[in-house]
Amino acid sequence: MIVSHQPVMVDEVIMYLITNPDGIYVDGTVGTGGHSIEICKRLGPRGALICLDVDRASIEVAKERLSPFAERVTIAKESYVELDRVLKEIGIDQVHGILLDLGMSSYQLESSGRGFSFTKNEPLDMRMDEDRGVTASDLVNKSSVERLQRLLWDYAQERWATLIARAIVEERRIQPLTSSRQLALLIEATIPAKYRPRKIHPATKTFQALRIAVNRELQNISDFLEKAPLFLVRGGRLVVISYHSLEDRLVKQAFLHWDKWDRHPRKLPVFPSEGKPAIGALQKRAYRPRQAELNGNPRARSARLRVAVRI
């Protein structure tokens, strides 16, 4: 059964993303289609939406939910990092807006069976794309203690990275770590009781770090942001929703880099000597969910939305 996912900050996404109802838009992380449905409702008769995702099961759900808009929607099992290739293959040079929602969907946490959640007993996989890449089980059972320690610190700032990494290596000498429950219980037993976090599960940061490593999440964001301005028409928008500081920092730094050439980028059509489109953040600070949304969807509490515009 597919768990329904409630999209985050829908009103803000629509307000900042859609500048021309008859334009071409991209949902680079379509998931089960929550944002895409709302985008399609606001498109004009000549508007179009390109939906990308690497999660095969999510795409199938999105296809069904977006079927009423089939004439204006293109759905492909591709990473947003490959957007340049996707656009070339379908004969499109630039688009009017791009949305990236970098969060986990309720489906992936609750129904995918891939070990994303430390509250379930599932195979320790954590791949968004089941067709490629190493699994979380591969990482914890084959990585050196030094690499595990580095992953836990770099991708989650886990205070107990060294202790957890050593515990994983000791445990796998007895038996391989193959399930999410097995790993979660090991971490819970490893962190001293009086130091266990009160507001989150002790395994939260470890699971975050492994998921990021398995899916190359930070590298994908960095690679995409390097070329994102080239995808947009003049006046086009890039909207990114992130959920933890590592993601948000990459987006913020990219936006500041794009904007640093001129604090009023409308005066500057291209980067000096680089020939790249000028693009700047609409607001220096990230937008946050409104309290009314948090009351109905507590999972939105960590969301940060940033918007950049091609000048």
pTM comes to 0.89
Region of residue 238 (left: phi > 0; alpha: psi -120 to 50; beta: else): beta
d(CA 133, CA 287): 34
pLDDT of residue 239: 97
Helices (H) then strands (E): counts for the chain: 13, 7
Region of residue 133 (left: phi > 0; alpha: psi -120 to 50; beta: else): left
Residue 123 has pLDDT above 90, yes or no: yes
The end-to-end CA distance of the chain, in Å, is 44
The predicted-structure confidence for 23-46, as pLDDT tens digits, reads as follows: 999 999 999 999 999 999 999 999
**Which domains does the chain carry?**
10-107+218-310 (3.40.50.150), 114-215 (1.10.150.170)
Kindly report the average pLDDT of the chain as a whole number.
89
Q: How many CA atoms, within 13 angstroms, populate the side-chain half-sphere of residue 149? A: 9
The predicted-structure confidence for 2-27, as pLDDT tens digits, reads as follows: 545 689 999 999 999 999 999 999 99
The predicted-structure confidence for 228-287, as pLDDT tens digits, reads as follows: 999 999 999 999 999 999 999 999 999 888 765 433 444 333 333 344 555 666 677 899
CA-based nearest residue to 235, from 272, 265, 275: 265
